[in-house]
Structure 1
Amino acid sequence: MRGKALLLSAWLVPGIVLGQSKPLETFPVSAVQLLASPFQVAQQTDKAYILALNPDRLLAPYLAEAGLPPKAERYGNWENTGLDGHMGGHYLSALAYMYAATADAQVQQRLTYMINQLEQCQQQNGNGYLGGVPGGRAMWQQIKEGRIDANSFGLNKKWVPLYNLHKTYAGLRDAYMIGGNEKAKGMLIKLTDWCLDLTANLSDEQIQQMLRSEHGGLNEVFADVAQLTGDTKYLRLAQRFSHRAVLEPLLAGKDMLNGMHANTQIPKVIGFERIAEVGGDPAWANAATFFWKTVVENRTVSIGGNSVSEHFNPTTSFASMLESTEGPETCNTYNMLKLSKQLYLTSGSTRYLDFYERATYNHILSTQHPGQGGFVYFTPMRPRHYRVYSQPQEGMWCCVGSGLENHGKYGELAYAHRGQQELLVNLFLPSRLTWPAQGLTLTQETTFPREERSQLKLQLKKARQFALSIRQPNWLPTGKLQVLVNGKPVATSAVSPGYVTVQRKWRSGDVVTVALPMETKAEYLPDHSPWVSFVHGPVVLAAVTDTTDLVGLHANGQRMAHVASGPLYPVEEAPVLVSTDKNVAAGITPVPGQPLTFSAAKLIDSDKYRNMRLVPFSQIHDARYMVYWPVTTPEGLAARKEEIRRRDEEKRALEARTVDQVTPGEQQPESDHGFQGEQTESGSHRNRHWRHAKGWFSYNLRNPNRSARALRVTYSGGDKDRQFTILVNGMPLTKVALQGNPQGDFYDVDYALPKALQQANAPTTLVVKFEAAPGSTAGGVFDVRLLK
C-alpha cells in the first residue's frame, strides 16, 4: 500500500488537461535512502524532534473546535495565541515525509494516530470542516454570509486563518500522497468540498478581498485535488483562490515585490505553477518562472535565502540585510525549493537544480542544530550576529513547522528519470536509489563536498541499455566534469542540456566515477555593494568570530524568542578585507590537511581576526559568524571603515535605548505585539511600511522593567491635515495634528510618558492606541518604540 500511494504524484487523471508535458519525473521519497553524511544526521535529528512532540497537544485545537474533549493541553506560543492548529498540519506532512524516507514504524504509527483522531473531528463537525482556528465556526459562517474583513494581518479579526487552514490541507495531501494513508484522501476531498460550499455564493471580487489575508498555497492544494479526482470544479476553485493582485504584475513581467511579505507570496506562486500544470495555462507558468527568476537572481543572498524581517527588501539596496538581526527566513527557502522542484520537472532546466543545491547545502542544512535539534527562524547576514534554535515543547513558529518537514525531504530530488530510458543524477548526495521497474539499485558513495568526486555503483537484475545522465553544475569549471566507467574514461554526450550522458548496456557491478573539481569564488550581494561572500563549489564559506553574548540561544516560548536578541556588535569592528586584486577570492587559500577549511589571512585587516578559518556555513552553530565581508582597497580602507561606523553607530545607539518596538504594517511584528484595529490599512512608502486608520489601531508594547520614558513615533513628511489621539492604556497621551515636514521624508517625534508608569505597581504592558478624530485619519505611522 505504501508504494502505491507514494507514486500518486505522477498520476495524470482523465478529465484534467495537462497544459505542459512532464518530461521528467522524480522518484518516490521512499526510493531514496540516505547514507552516512551530514544530511543523514540531520534526518535522524529531525526524526527524534518529531517523535519528541506530543500528538495529543497538537490535536487539542482540532478537538476543541469540533466540540470534543482534548486529551492534553494545547501547546503554547503560536499554538495558543491565534494560530492554533497550524503546527498539526505541518506535523502531518513531516510524518509523511519522514516515514517515506526512513520506513520507521513508530513514525507511521504516529501518522495513523493523527489521521484517525482528525477523522473523528471532521465527522463531529459534520460538514467536512477540519481545523483548529479558534472560534472558527462562527468566523466561517460570517465568511459564508459575505461578511468579510480582510487585511495582511488576518481575516475577520482572526490571525491568518486561511494560512492556518492551508497547513491542514497540505498535511492531509502529504499523508496520502507521500505517506500512503488512504483515509487522508477522503478527508482531503471532504475538506475541499466544505470550502466549495463556503464560497459558493461569494463573488470572485469577495474572494479576492478575502485573499488580502495571508492564505498559504490553498490554490496549489485545490489544483492537487483536481488532479486526484479528475473533477474540474476543484480546478475552478484553485483559480478563484489565486490572488490577482500578485498574479497580474507577474503575468506582465513586472517585479512589484519590494516591501511585500515574502513568504505570503511564494506559496501563491507555487499554486500558479500547479494550476498551469493541471489546467494547461502557459501564461500562469510564465508568471511563476518570472517570479522565480527575479527572486533568485535579484533578491537572494549566497546561502539561498531571501528577505529582511520577512519582507522583500529593495533590489537596489541590501543595506537592511546587513544591518538587521532578522535575515532570511527558513520558510521562504522551504517554499522556494518547492517552486524550484516544480519548475525543474516541467522544464528540465538544471538552473533550478543549481539553486536547489545551493539552498539545500547552505540554508536548509544550517537551520537545524545537529546535536540538540531545534530549528532556526531567521538567519542573520549581519556581521558577527548569530541564530537561535527552537525547543520541542516551546517554539511553535512557522519555521519550526517547515523545519520539521525540511530534513525528511533531502532525497526527493537527488535523482529523476525520463520514462524508463534515462536516469538522471541531480545531487551528489550519499544515498541508495532503488528503481524496481528497471531492476536497478544505484548506490552513490561520496563524502562530497569534502572530496571532489562521487562514485556510482550499479546493481542490476539483468544487463540493460539506458542512458545515465549526470548533472553538470554551474559551479564546475567548463570542461572539467570527468566520467570514468570501471576506471576507464568513456565518451559522453549532451542528450539532456545541463547533463553529461553515458549511453551503454549497463551490467551489475559497473562503477561510474565522477570527478568534481571545485573552485573558490567571490560572490557580491545582488545590489553590487562592496560586500562579498565566498563559495567553494556549491558550499558557502563562513567564519566564527565570537561565542559571546548568545542571549536566548535556545529559545523559550516567548513571542519574540525566535529573534537573536543579544547585543549588536559594532559592524565597524568586524574584519574588513583589503585587496588590490579584482578577484578577491585569490586571497583565500586552503589550510593544508583540513578539508573544506580556508584562510583569509592575506586579506583580513585585523590582527584579532587574521587567523580565523573559513568553513562551510552549515557547520557553524552556537556562535557569531561572518558570511558577508566588507571589502575595499588599501587606499579606501579608512574611508570604508568610517562609512560603516557612521551607518551603524546611530542604529546601535537607538537599539540600546529601545525597550520595545513594532513596525506598523509588517505582519509578524504586528502579530507579536497584539495588533488590533478598525477601519485600518497598511502599505509601504519609499521602502518603509506604514499603517493608518479612519478608525483606530493599537499595539501591546512590553515594558518589563518599567524603564520606558518616552514613546517615539515615526511619521512621513508628506502626511498633512490628519488629526488623532495617542492613548496609552486607555488614557490620552497627546493629541496629534500632522502638518507635514518639509525637512525630509521621515521624522521622529518623542512623547514623554507619564511618571506613573515608572512606579513599582505600574503595568508592564503598555497598550498604545492611535485613534482618528471624526472625519480624519490616524497616521500614517512608520515606527513605534518605547525608549529608555
Structure 2
Amino acid sequence: MKYITLIFTLVFILSSCVKKVDNSTAQYFNLSDVKLLDSEFKNAQLQDIAYLMALDPDRLLAPFLREAGLETKAESYPNWENTGLDGHIGGHYLTALSLMYASTGNTEMKERLDDMISELKRCQDANGNGYIGGVPGGQTAWDEIKVGDIRAGGFSLNGKWVPLYNIHKTYAGLRDAWLYAHNETAKQMLIAMTDWMLDLVSGLSDEQIQDMLRSEHGGLNETFADVAEITGDEKYLVLAKRFSHHEILDPLIGHHDELNGKHANTQIPKVIGYQRIAELGGDSAWSDAALYFWDEVVNGRSVAIGGNSVREHFHPKHDFSEMISSVEGPETCNSYNMLKLTKMLYPTFGNNSKFIDYYEKTLYNHILASLNPDNGGLVYFTPMRPNHYRVYSQPETSFWCCVGSGIENPGKYGEMIYAYTDKSLYVNLFIPSVLNWEAKNTEVVLETKFPDEDKVFLTINPGEKTEFELHLRYPSWVEEGALKVLVNGSETKYQVSENGYAVVNREWEKGDKVELVLPMKITTEQLEDGSNNYAFNYGPIVLAAKTGTEDLKGLYADASRMGHVAHGKMIPLKDRPVIVAPADNLPSMLDKKDSDKLAFKLSGLYPEKYENGLELLPFYRIHESRYNIYWSQATDEQLNDMIRQVEEEEKARIALDAITVDKVESGEQQPESDHFVKFERSRTGYANDYHYRETSDFFSYNLKNQDKKGRFLHLKYFDSAYPRSAEILVNNKPAGTIKLNNGDEDAILEKIIPIPDSEVAKQELVFKVQASDKNASMQLIEVRLLTKNEIQ
C-alpha cells in the first residue's frame, strides 16, 4: 500500500472554508458501551461464542494442574497443547472470555471465566511462589535461569519451547480478566505472578536478561507495564524496561530497518511493549520507535489484506516473490498484533485517520476473513499464492497461536468503532452498532449495509439537547470533495480536520438523523516490490475470485503439528489467471453486477479456461474454496515471456515437491519446532534471503516418513571459504559426510544422501547433523526427505 500522508488537509466541500479543528487526544469507550447490531461482524461474534463454549475448560486447565502437582480432571488437548506449548491456549481463553463478556454481557462467558480463575488460583497456591504455568517440566528451566544458566534461541529457552511466550498468555489473560471482567482474584494473581518474575530475575544482570530475550517472549514488557499502572508501583515499570529487547529497540530508535529474515510475530509484541512503556514512562523516543516500526511494516512489508510475512518471517521489502509462490502467506497473529499496536498509536499521534484506514483494511480483509462464518473455524496462514486455499481449525484438534488470538478477535470488534474527547465524538468504522455515551447521556445508533451500499445512517439520541462535535472519518478511499453529510435530510456543510475527519458541530436533539455518503470506486494495489501483481479494492474491501474446490486437502485441520498448512496440490503458477491489459486499464476490466451484494465480473483473462471471466467478491465472503487475490498483469507483448519465465522457475520446484515426503526449512521457527528440533552449541542465521542453522556440536529434526516412502535426504546449504565438516546421521546411523573449504560463501550447494538400508522402513527418521573435527558444520538451509533421487 502507498504511504498515506495528510491527504485530507486541503479537502473542500460545498465551497466552505477549511478551518483547523482542535484535535485533543481521543479516548476509547469501554467494550460494554458498544453493542453490535446484525452484520457479518455480529455473526462472527456469535460463531465465536459457540466455539468458546465447545472448548472444555478442564482440558485447557490440565497442563496447569499437572505442573502444580494437582490431579487433572481431564487429559490435555492435543496438537500444540501437549507437545511443548502446553497451557498457552488457556491464557488466550481467559482473554477471549473476558472480552466477550465485556462486549455482549453473556453470563456464560463470565461463569466460565470465574471457574477458570478459581482453578488457576488453586494452581498458584499449590506452587507456593506466585507462578502459574503449563510449561512441561518448567520448574527445571526456571531454576536454571534464576542462577544464570541461560541457553536461549529463537524458539527455545533452556530446552523448552518458548516458555516466556507461553506464560505471557497467562499474564495477559489474568490482566484482561481484571480489566474487562473485573475479577479481583485475577488481579491479585497477576500481581503475585509478576512478583514471582521479579524474584526470578533479581540476581540476573541486564546483559543476562537480554540474552534470555533472544527466545520469543511475547509481550511480557507490555504486561509488566500494565501491572505498573494497575498497582501504581514503579518497580514493575523497571521490570518492563528490563524485559524490552534492545536488539530490536535500538535500531528502531535510530530509524534503521533491520527486520529482514526476522520472525515477524516475535517482534510485533515487543514493539507494543515499547509503546506501552512510553505511554507510562513518557519516553518519546520509544514511542517514535514504535511509529517507525508501524510505518515500515504497514507501508513497506504488507499486502492488500493488511497482513505481512511469509512462513512467519519478514522478507526483503524489494522482493515479494515468495509471497506469491508460498502457501504460507500472512499469519493471522501478526495482524491481530498490528491492530493492537495501531489502536495504541492512534491517540498518541493526533487521532490521525491514517491509523484507522489501516485498521479498517486489516479488520475486514484479514481478521474477519480468518473466521469461517458458518462454524467459527480459524485460519493460521492466508496464502496470497494464486489458486490456493486456507485451512480452518476445529475445537477438538487445533491449538495453534492463531487459534488463541483468533478466539479473542470477535470479542473486541467494537473497540475502534467510536472514540471521544470531552467535546467530540469520533466515528471511525462503519460497523452496525449502538453506542451508549454515558458522559453525554447520549445513545448513538449506527445502521448501514456497508460495503454493499455506500451510505451510513446515524441516529443521535441525547437525553436532553446536547452540543458536541461529530467527527466523521473521511476515508482515504473516498475522493477529495466526494463525501457528503446530511442532517435530518438536508445536506450540511462541514469542516475538514487536519487528521482526516468531516466535522459537524451542533446542538443535538433526540432523533436527529445523520446520513454519511461515502462513494466507493475500484482501485488497484500493486505489490510493494513493483512486480506486475495487483489486487483489486472496492473502497477498503479487497476483492477476490473463487477458482475451484478440487483437492482441498486438510481443509479442516487434524491434530498434527503441521495441520494448519494447506498441503493440497499447488496449481502451477503458469496456470494462474493473467489479466492481459496495460496496468493503467485494470480498473476498467471490472463491471459491477446487478446484485444486492457486492459482486463484479472481471474480463480479459488468460488462459482459455478463464475466457468467460470470473466473479469477484469481497475476500472475507470467500470460504472453503481456492481463490485468487493478486492478479498478474501483462500486455499482449509481455504475455509469452511471462509464461515462459514462470514455467522455467516452477518446473524444477514442482518436480522436487512431487517427490518430497517431508521437509524442514532450517533456522525458521515454526518448521523447526514442528519437527521437534534438538541442538547443542547451535545457532541460526540469515544470509542472502535464506535462513540457516549451523552447529559446533549437533542439531536434529524428526522427519515424518509417511507411508515409509522416504529413501533419500536432499540437503541445501551454503558453501564455505574455511574448513567446515559434519557427519549426517539417520536414527544415529551414519549416512554421509559434508566437507567444505575454499568455497564461495554466497554459493548454495545441494547434495543427495541415501538413507541407510536399515532405516528406510521406519515411519520416523531422526535426521542429525553432527559437527566433526572441531569444525563448525555447514550452514544448512533446508533438508528434504525424498522418495527418489531427482538427480538421476
Residue equivalent to 1:320:
322
Q: For residue 11 of structure 2, what is the aligned residue in structure 1?
A: none
Paired residue for 2:769? 770
* 1:655 is aligned to 2:657: yes
Report the alpha carbon displacement of residue 191 of structure 1 after superposing the two structures with TM: 0.7
Q: Secondary structure at the match of 2:723?
A: strand
Q: What is the rounded CA distance, in whole Å, between the counterparts of 2:588 and 2:277 in structure 1?
A: 47
Amino acid at match of 2:380: Y
Question: 2:428 aligned with 1:426, yes or no?
Answer: yes
Deviation at 1:714, TM superposition (A): 0.8
Q: Which moved more, 1:719-728 or 1:652-661?
A: 719-728
Q: CA deviation at 1:608?
A: 3.3
Pairwise CA distance, 1:719: 5.0
Report the counterpart of residue 785 of structure 1 in structure 2. Answer: 784
Aligned to 1:375, which of 375, 378, 389?
A: 378
Structure 1 residue 353, shift from structure 2 partner: 0.6
Which residue does 1:15 correspond to in 2?
A: none
Matches within 5 A, 1:134-173: 134-173=136-175
Alignment match, 2:635: 633
The answer for the alignment partner of 1:289 in structure 2 is 291
Does 1:390 pair with 2:393?
yes
Superposed displacement of residue 230, structure 1: 1.2
Q: Tell me whether 1:182 sits opposite 2:181 in the alignment.
A: no
2-side partners of 1:447 and 1:740: how far apart? 67
CA contact (8 A) 1:22 1:346 kept: no
Partner of 2:17: none
Query: What residue identity is the alignment partner of 2:659?
Result: R
Cα deviation digits, residues 407-438 of structure 1 (max 9, x gap)? 1111001000012x100000000000111111
Contact conserved, 1:24 with 1:417, CA < 8 A, in 2? yes
Residue 194, structure 1, aligned to residue 206, structure 2: no
Aligned to 2:747: 745
RMSD, aligned CA? 1.3
Alignment CA distance shift 1:468-1:604 (3 Å):
farther
SS at match of 2:172: helix
Q: What amino acid does structure 2 have at the position aligned with 1:390?
A: S
Shift of 1:705: 1.5
| Aligned position for 2:420 | 417
CA contact under 8 A between 1:374 and 1:390: conserved in structure 2? yes
Instruction: Tell me, in whole angstroms, the C-alpha distance in 2 between the residues paired with 1:377 and 1:51.
Output: 21
Task: Quote how far apart the aligned CAs of 1:718 are.
Answer: 3.3
Counterpart of 1:216 in structure 2 is: 218
Amino acid across the alignment from 2:765: L
Aligned CA distance change for structure 1 residues 495 and 524 (closer, same or farther; 3 Å): closer
Q: CA deviation at 1:755?
A: 3.0
Q: Is the Cα contact below 8 Å between 1:578 and 1:605 reproduced in 2?
A: no
The Cα of 1:658 is off from its aligned counterpart by 0.7
State the partner residue of 2:699: 697
1:594 deviates by 4.8
Distance in 1, Cα, partners of 2:92 & 2:648: 44
Quote how far apart the aligned CAs of 1:22 are. Answer: 7.9
Q: How many residues align?
A: 764
Contact 1:49–1:392 under 8 Å retained in 2: yes
CA distance in 2, matches of 1:180, 1:22: 29
Q: Deviations over 1:577-622 (max 9, x none)?
A: 0113524112111112353111111355534353310000000001
Q: Which amino acid aligns with 2:196?
A: W
What letter is aligned with 1:303?
A: I
Tell me which amino acid in the other structure corresponds to 1:769. Answer: K
Distance 1:22 1:196 in 2: 37
Could you tell me how far 1:480 is from its partner in structure 2?
Answer: 1.1
The answer to whether the 8 Å contact 2:430/2:450 transfers is: yes
Residue 581 and residue 227 in structure 1: after superposition, are their counterparts in 2 closer, same or farther (change >3 A)? Answer: closer
- Secondary structure of the 1:711 match is strand
Q: Which moved more, 1:116-125 or 1:499-508?
A: 116-125
- Does the CA contact (< 8 Å) of 2:583 and 2:633 recur in 1? no
Aligned to 2:16: none
1:225 match: secondary structure: helix
Q: CA deviation at 1:205?
A: 0.2
The whole-number CA distance in structure 2 between the counterparts of 1:499 and 1:594 is 29
| 8 Å Cα contact 2:44/2:371 also seen in 1 | yes
Offset at 1:757? 3.2
Q: 2:582 touches 2:633 (CA, 8 Å); kept in 1?
A: no
In the superposition, the TM-score normalised over structure 2's length comes to 0.95
Pair 1:355-2:354 in alignment: no
Counterpart of 1:438 in structure 2 is 440
Check the 8 A contact 1:384/1:625 in 2, yes or no: yes
Amino acid across the alignment from 1:768: F
Given the superposition, is the C-alpha separation of residues 263 and 242 from structure 1 closer, same or farther in structure 2, using an over 3 Å criterion? same
Equivalent of 2:259 in 257, 260, 265:
257
Q: Aligned to 1:327, what secondary structure does the other structure show?
A: coil
Q: Is the 8 A contact 1:358 1:539 kept in 2?
A: yes
* 1:494 maps to which of 493, 496, 501: 496
2:720·2:745 contact (CA, 8 Å) conserved in 1? no
1: CA distance, partners of 2:376 / 2:232: 41
Cα-to-partner distance string for 1:541-572 (whole Å, 9 max, x where unaligned): 00001111000000010110100000111110
CA contact (8 A) 2:144 2:150 kept: yes
Q: What residue ranges of structure 2 are gaps of 5+ in the alignment?
A: 1-22, 788-792
Rounded to whole Å, the distance in 1 between the matches of 2:455 and 2:776 is: 65
- Structure-2 separation of matches of 1:603 and 1:669: 36
Q: Note closer, same or farther for the CA distance 1:217–1:22 as it changes in structure 2 (3 Å cut).
A: farther
| Paired-residue identity, % | 50
Distance 1:633 1:774, change over 3 A: same
* Partner residue of 2:88 out of 86, 105, 119: 86
